[in-house]
Amino acid sequence: MMESGIPLCSTCGELVGFSSSSSDEVFVACSNCNYPLCRSCLEEEIRENRESCLRCGEPYFHAGEKDSLKDLESVEHVTMASRLQDDQDDGVHARNLSNLSMTESELNDVSGNPIWKNRVQSWKEKKIKKNADKKALKKTQVPLEQQMEAKESQEAGKPFSAIIPISRNKLTPYRAVIILRLIILGLFFHYRITNPVDSAYGLWLTSVICEVWFAFSWVLDQFPKWSPICRETYIDTLSSRYEMEGESCMLASVDFFVSTVDPLKEPPLVTANTVLSILAVDYPVEKVSCYVSDDGAAMLTFEAMAETAEFATKWVPFCKKYLIEPRAPEFYFSQKFDYLKDKVQPSFVKERRAMKRDYEEYKVRINALVAKAQKTPEDGWVMQDGTPWPGNNTRDHPGMIQVFLGHSGAHDIEGNELPRLVYVSREKRPGYQHHKKAGAMNALVRVSAVLTNAPYILNLDCDHYVNNSKAVREAMCFMMDPQVGPHLCYVQFPQRFDGIDRSDRYANRNIVFFDVNMKGLDGIQGPVYVGTGCVFNRQALYGYGPTSLPTLPKSSFCSWCCSCCCCCPSKKASKDKNESFKDSRREDLNAAIFNLKEIDNYDEYERSMLISQMSFEKSFGLSSVFIESTLMENGGLPESVNSSTLIKEAIHVISCGYEEKTEWGKEIGWIYGSVTEDILTGFKMHCRGWRSIYCMPLRPAFKGSAPINLSDRLHQVLRWALGSVEIFLSRHCPLWYGYGGGRLKWLQRLAYINTIVYPFTSLPLIAYCSLPAICLLTGKFIIPTLSNVASMLFLGLFISIILTSVLELRWSGVGVEDWWRNEQFWVIGGVSAHLFAVFQGFLKMLAGVDTNFTVTAKASDDAEFGELYVFKWTTLLIPPTTLIVLNMVGVVAGFSDALNSGYEAWGPLFGKVFFSLWVILHLYPFLKGLMGRQNRTPTIVVLWSVLLASVFSLLWVKIDPFISNTDDSSGSQGCNSIDC
C-alpha cells in the first residue's frame, strides 16, 4: 500500500499534493469522482478552457468558484478518505488488494485499492448510469409501504447461522490441563537435561533431542485448538429471505468444478456419479453450472460425459420429485435400508424400478466405453463424424470445450431446464509448464468466468459426490450473510468416506483432523483448505483482500517516531519520504505512459483507460472479456459481451501460454509451487486478511472414496508430506512469509507452521523408536535411576498426556477407537512416508532430482473390503518393518539376558521392554497389513528387514560390544580356581 497515502496524478505521474500548505488533506480536483489530478495540471486544464473532468464530465468548479486561480486553495473539496467512504456507502464496487498479494510494481491508493482499479471505476459508472432508469422504473412500480415493510422484515429477520460455543464445563478443564502439561514439560526437561546418563551419553543425548522436538510439535498442534467452536445453519431463513413467492430467486449462482486426469485410474463411472449428484442438487437450476476438467484429454471421459448428460434427463427429475438422498445413483441404489420409508406416493416403487433398470443400462454403456478404451488404435481415436480426436497426443493438443447441457439446451423428460454441464480440456504443448491440478483449476476459473461467472465456486474431486443435496444452501448461509459473507474467502466442509471397514485400520477417515483440529481452527481465523468440498468466493481467488481490512496495530517504535515527528515536524523528512516513494513506484506508471504515447489518436481519457487495461492485463492476462468479468462483484456476464463469441474467448483463456507474465499461480487462483496446492492457496488468502468457516451439517455434505490398502494409504500420506516439505523450502513458508500485513493471527500461523514441519518429526521419531531395541541389545538405558521426585514427574507427564486426550475427545465427540487409530498411524506414517518425503523433498527442491516410488498390485478374491487385504510392494514398507523386527529381536534378547543375570536385572528390564512394546503396539496395524490376506509376509520384505536389522545389530556390537575388554581381562586375572 502507499505509505504516503497520496495518489499519483493521472497526467504527469507526480504526487497530487495537499489542498494547502498547512493542510493534511489530499488535493482533489474533481469533487464528484475524485479524479487524481495535481494542481499544476489542473491549472493547465483551466488555461486551455478544459473545465470538465476527464472521467465523469462534470465541471471542476461550480458557478462563481473559478474567478481567480489564486483562490484555488479556498475551494471546498472532499478528502480522499471521505470520498472513498462515500463510494462504499453507495454500494460502488470497492475491492481491496493486500500488499501481500501484489508485485512490487503495483500501485495502491489509501484504502489498498490499485490505482488502475480506481481508473477503471468509470467503466462501472457507465454501466450504473445506463441502468439507472431501469432501476428507477422498478422502484416506482413497488409501493413505498411495501418497500418499508420489506426493509423492516429484512432487518428483523433471523440470522442465517449461529456459533455454538463449546461448554465451559468441557473447555475450561481442557485448557487447564494444557497449561498444567506445559508446566510439567518444563520441569521434566529440567530434570532430563540436569541428569545425564554417563554410561550411555550418546543414547541419552539422542533421546533428549527427540523429546524436545516432540514437545515443540505438540505445542504447534495443541494451541491452535485453544478455542474450538461449532456452527449451525438456518436454511429456512435463507430461503425466506432470497426465495420469496412470486419473485425471482435471489440466491447467488455457483460454479461446480470437477477435476480428473486419467480415466483408467479414476473410473469414468465414479466421475459420472459425481456429476449426476451435482446436476441433481437442491438449488435453483439456473444458478448451477458444472465444469468437468479432463486434464488427460481422454476421449473416454468425453464420451462418458455425453452419456451422463443423456442419463441426467431422467435422473435429475426423479431425484427432485421424490427427494432422493444421496443423489449419486451408484451409492443410492447400493444402500442397504428400507427405501420405502417415509415414501407416500404409490408410483414411487414403479418409477424406482424403472430408474434402476435405466441406470444398469447406463452402467453397461459406460463399461463398454471403458473396455473399448483399454487398447488404443494405432491411428488414434476417431470421433463419430470421422475426424481424429484432438487429444490423441495427451501432451500436445489444442484446448477443447463442449457444452452438453445448458439453459438453452436440452431439457429433462418433464420439459424442465437442466443445469449447465461443460466439458473442458485445456491446451497442452511441449515446453510449457502446466502445473498439474493447480493449473487445471486455474483454467476452470477463467473458463467459468467467461461463460457463467458465478460469484461462488465449489470444487470437488472426481470421486467426491454430493451426499447432501442441500449442501450448497448450507454454504450460502455463510456466504450470503450480510454480516459474515464480506469477510469470507471460503467455506470448508469435512471429508467423509465410503467403503472403509469399521475398524478403520489405517485411519483413512482422518476423524481426529476433521473433528478436532478443524473445529479448533474455526475458532481462530478459519480451517485450512483441504483440496475438495470447498465453496470459494471468486473475488478471493482473484487475489483481492476483503472489503474491510483489519486495522493494523502500530508498534511502539512507530508510535515513538510519530510522536517525534509531531513534536519536531521536518519538511525535509517528508520530502525524502515522498521522493523515495516516487522512485520506487514511478517505474511501472512511466513504462505504461511511455508505451501509450507512441500510439496516436488517443485523448487523455482514452489513454487513462488504456493504462488501466494494461494494469489489468499484467495480472489477469490478455482477455478483455475475462477482465471485465472480474469487475462483476455479484457475478453474471457483462451486457457488452457478445454471446456468440464466448466459446472462442473461453478457448483463448485456456491456451497454454495465457498465464505467461501474469500473476496466475503466484497471487491469483490456485498457487503453484507445491503438490499440496490446497494448503498454499488457503494460506495466501488468510495472509490477505480473509477468514474461512468450517461447516459440518448433520448429514455429511460430500462423500468420497479413500485409498484403503496399506501401500496406497502410505503413498497418499507421502504426497501430502512432500507438499509440506516443498512449502517449507519455498518463499511461502509460514515461518517467514506474511508478516508485513499483520493480518494472519499468531495461533493461525502456528497451525500453518505445524502443517509444514510435521514431516520432519519422522527423523526424531524413527530414532526414538530404535532406542528401546538398542537399549535391550546393549544393556544400557536412556534414563538414570529414578528418585521419588523424578518418578512423580514421569507419572505426572503420563497422566497429563492421558487427560489432555480424554478431555479433547470429550468436547469433540470423537471416539476412543478413532483417536487410537490416529495415534497408531501417526507412528506408521512418520517412520515411513514422512521420512521418505523429507529426503525426496530436499532432493527435488535443492538438487532437482524427482524420485518416484513404484507400486505393483496383487489380486484379491475378497468381495467386501477386499482392497484392504491387497498387498502392494513399495519401498515405504522397509523402515517400519525393520523397526518391528529390531524391537522384537531386542525384546527376546532382553528377556534372555534377564534370565541369565538373575532377578536383579528384571527391574531395569521393565522400562526397556515397556518402550519396545509401545513401538510394536503402534506398528501393529502395519504388521497386520504387511501379512496380507494370506497372513504371510512377502519374502522380499522379510529379507530386506532382516538384512537391515542384522547389519545394524552387528555394526553396533562391533562398535560397542556387550562386554568390554577391560572387564574381561580383569575377570580372567582375578579368577584362579574353578569355583571363582
Which residues are known to be catalytic? 295, 678
Q: Is 266 flagged in the annotation as binding? A: yes
Q: Where are the alpha helices (DSSP H) in 428-500?
A: 436-451, 471-479
Q: Is 265 flagged in the annotation as binding? A: yes
CA 943/CA 949 separation, integer angstroms? 10
CA 739/CA 737 separation, integer angstroms? 6
Q: From residue 627, how far is each of 182, 456, 621 by CA, in Å?
A: 52, 17, 8
Q: Is 295 flagged in the annotation as binding? A: yes
User: Mapping DSSP to helix (H, G, I), strand (E, B) and coil, where does residue 545 land?
Assistant: strand
Contact predicate 702/467, CB 8 Å: yes
Q: How many of the other CB atoms lie within 10 Å of CB of 964?
A: 10
CA 665/CA 684 separation, integer angstroms? 11
Map grid coordinates 535391550 to a residue.
776
Grid coordinates of 852: 518416484
Grid coordinates of 143: 409501493
Cα torsion angle, 678, 683, 685, 686, sign: positive
Contact predicate 827/922, CB 8 Å: yes
Name every residue whose Cβ is closer than 8 Å to that of residue 913 and which is 6 or more positions away in sequence. 772, 776, 891, 894, 895
Grid coordinates of 539: 473475488
CA 306/CA 518 separation, integer angstroms? 38
Amino acid occupying residue 714 = L
Read off φ and ψ for residue 497, nearest 5 degrees.
Answer: -130, 150
CA 701/CA 458 separation, integer angstroms? 12
Map grid coordinates 439507472 to a residue.
132
Q: How many of the other CB atoms lie within 10 Å of CB of 819?
A: 19
User: Mapping DSSP to helix (H, G, I), strand (E, B) and coil, where does residue 133 land?
Assistant: helix
Q: Where are the alpha helices (DSSP H) in 13-108?
A: 39-47, 80-89
Buried b (16+ CB within 10 A) or exposed e, 162-171: eeeebeeeeb
Q: Which helix (H) or strand (E) holds 928?
A: helix 924-931
Grid coordinates of 829: 506414517
Amino acid occupying residue 950 = S
Q: Is 259 flagged in the annotation as binding? A: yes
Q: Is 428 flagged in the annotation as binding? A: no
Contact predicate 702/464, CB 8 Å: yes
| Proportion of the chain in helix, strand, coil states, percent, rounded to 5 | 55, 10, 40
Name every residue whose Cβ is closer than 8 Å to that of residue 119 and which is 6 or more positions away in sequence. 10, 55, 608, 609, 611, 612
Which residue pairs, CB below 8 angstroms and at least 24 apart, start in 907-914? 908/781, 909/776, 911/781, 911/783, 912/772, 912/775, 912/776, 912/781, 913/772, 913/776
CA 278/CA 274 separation, integer angstroms? 6
- Classify residue 61 by burial, with Cβ atoms within 10 Å: 0-12, 13-18, 19+: middle
Amino acid occupying residue 279 = L
CA 890/CA 912 separation, integer angstroms? 9
Nearest CA to 99 among 117, 113, 115, 119?
Answer: 113
On the question of a cis peptide bond just before residue 326, with omega within 30 degrees of 0, the verdict is yes
How does DSSP assign 3-27, residue by residue?
SS--PBPTTT-SB--BSSTT--SBP
CA 602/CA 595 separation, integer angstroms? 12
Q: Is 67 flagged in the annotation as binding? A: no
CA 117/CA 102 separation, integer angstroms? 13
Amino acid occupying residue 380 = G
User: Residues within the annotated binding site for UDP-alpha-D-glucose?
Assistant: 259, 265-266, 295, 436
Annotated binding residues, as ranges? 259, 265-266, 295, 436-437, 461
Known binding positions for Mn(2+): 437, 461
